[in-house]
Structure 1
């Protein structure tokens, strides 16, 4: 999601810019807001911090997202084989299992990303850099706070990623079955791109409020000042000061990133698996025939519904 969803999808320079905008909008002080919206945030960062300000913290996702994608698709595929039947519920359960397991890497990675992105806000040249890079950020946090500090936001990450990835794979399975994605279809690639992009959007919409709280908890403590004592306290304070709209802060930039990133990710994985397993495999994305052997069909599937 996402990141998934948060960590969902692959990292590209242009889409990483949206990560920065998302975090800045989610955690800005409502009493003294720096940004009026997504475009104003983009303009302000370039004007105040130069183009380099849009790429703060890029090292952390570049290190971690390859492993995250490998874990997510590997766990999801193995979970589907273990569950035996290719049903919408099993797609959700397999995706949820994948989302929960990848949190081990996702949470520290997003912590470093968030801290790096908040460093030197509004300054072209930071007067005092707390962290040199993402690894230095995690090392310093570990030195001060131990493993608990490195895993700050783990509970909210689990709450976001577990159902988020479940919805992610469920939506992709339902969409590919609905629109038809047979290998001989001349529009197969556009259909896969559409299904992947929409799956990313649906997944983010289902868990975005949790992502806002996660970002605030992970940004809390920058500069040694802590605002929140717990998840409930963060929710309580945020709603009291900003109302329910707090849960949509940065949503526009997130959805702008979600469609192209997840469209490319799902289409690429599906096509690679299809060609790797051979062009003579049975058709994919078709609903089961009445009375058919669901277990046999699951083993035969090669593309979208069982990655």
Structure 2
């Protein structure tokens, strides 16, 4: 496996563990039909009934998102190289956005079932493991059920990851390269990666948050039995609303504000998670000798 595969896998898994508590709040706020426009910060505490709540729904993302992140970075890096070779340039922000969008689209095969299982585990009325949710979905709807909401998930990932890599490269260029040496240079590089990674995470989620709200509601909706045939035969399979109908329903419920419910929590989570994730990714790439700009080693005290 390539260096960026392992760097992406490790950083993605660590990012999930770091950000799951706030992600739990985000998903429950998005899926909630509560029309209250605001709530005190202390009300979020109720989402953590016990210690296990802190890791609710993490099993699927740790396995799935690690693979997703690995696929994302490999797809992005290879596509970016191709686009820049076509443009005869070493770096282009347009190529960066397009490569990020292609990378995001490539993750669809992993992100859709991972997101569906994670979200349903997080909003379940009774504690349910990712494996329990997976078996339940498979029994009721088979493979198709695991990819329910795949269209809006693919759109969210494609647009979001385009802005993800674009904003990271743009903010990195703003900071430039440090001129210090030794430990000071190493510290500057670390701070740069943390800030740029955190900023990239916030920009990404702001750009696609309404799509994420719709995706969450699509994948966590309670299925309603379809109308039985006129001759009194058995009802057909359960009917669920699609993304467009869910969006209309959400707007009718609480107006445009519903599409930004949970954005504050998500932005805080995005900054922390992506700062850590990019730092881990860059560190692994350095350790494997594949970093774009390898930072200088801090001098030894010996």
Q: TM-score, normalised by structure 2?
A: 0.79
Equivalents in 2 of 1:71, 1:109: separation in Å? 14
**Is 2:131 aligned against 1:135?**
yes
**Is 2:53 aligned against 1:43?**
no
2:190 paired residue number: 189
Alignment of 1:24-43 (within 5 A): 24-30=28-34, 37=39, 39-43=41-45
**Is 2:105 aligned against 1:100?**
yes
1:56 paired residue number: 56
Equivalents in 2 of 1:206, 1:303: separation in Å? 31
2:164 paired residue number: 168
**What 5-or-longer segments of structure 1 have no aligned partner?**
121-125, 282-300
Equivalents in 2 of 1:119, 1:222: separation in Å? 14
Deviation at 1:109, TM superposition (A): 0.8
Name the structure where helix makes up a greater proportion of residues: 2
Equivalents in 1 of 2:286, 2:275: separation in Å? 16
1:248 paired residue number: 260
2:211 paired residue number: 210
Deviation at 1:181, TM superposition (A): 3.2
User: Which deviations, in whole Å up to 9, do the C-alpha atoms of 1:144-168 show, x marking residues without a partner?
Assistant: 1122211111111111100100100
| Runs (4+) off by over 4 Å | 222-228, 301-304
| Matched residues, number | 265
**Is 2:152 aligned against 1:156?**
yes
Q: Is the 8 A contact 2:15 2:274 kept in 1?
A: no
Task: Classify 1:262/1:11 alpha carbon distance in 2 versus 1 (closer, same or farther; 3 Å).
Answer: closer
**What 5-or-longer segments of structure 2 have no aligned partner?**
1-7, 227-237, 296-302
User: Which deviations, in whole Å up to 9, do the C-alpha atoms of 1:172-201 show, x marking residues without a partner?
Assistant: 111111211358535111011111110110
Query: Residue 11 of structure 1 aligns to a residue in which SS?
Result: helix
Deviation at 1:13, TM superposition (A): 4.1
**Is 2:32 aligned against 1:22?**
no
Equivalents in 2 of 1:135, 1:303: separation in Å? 40
Task: Classify 1:44/1:223 alpha carbon distance in 2 versus 1 (closer, same or farther; 3 Å).
Answer: farther
Equivalents in 1 of 2:25, 2:281: separation in Å? 28
Deviation at 1:38, TM superposition (A): 7.1
Query: Residue 107 of structure 2 aligns to a residue in which SS?
Result: helix
Q: TM-score, normalised by structure 1?
A: 0.77
Task: Provide the alpha-carbon RMSD of the alignment.
Answer: 2.9
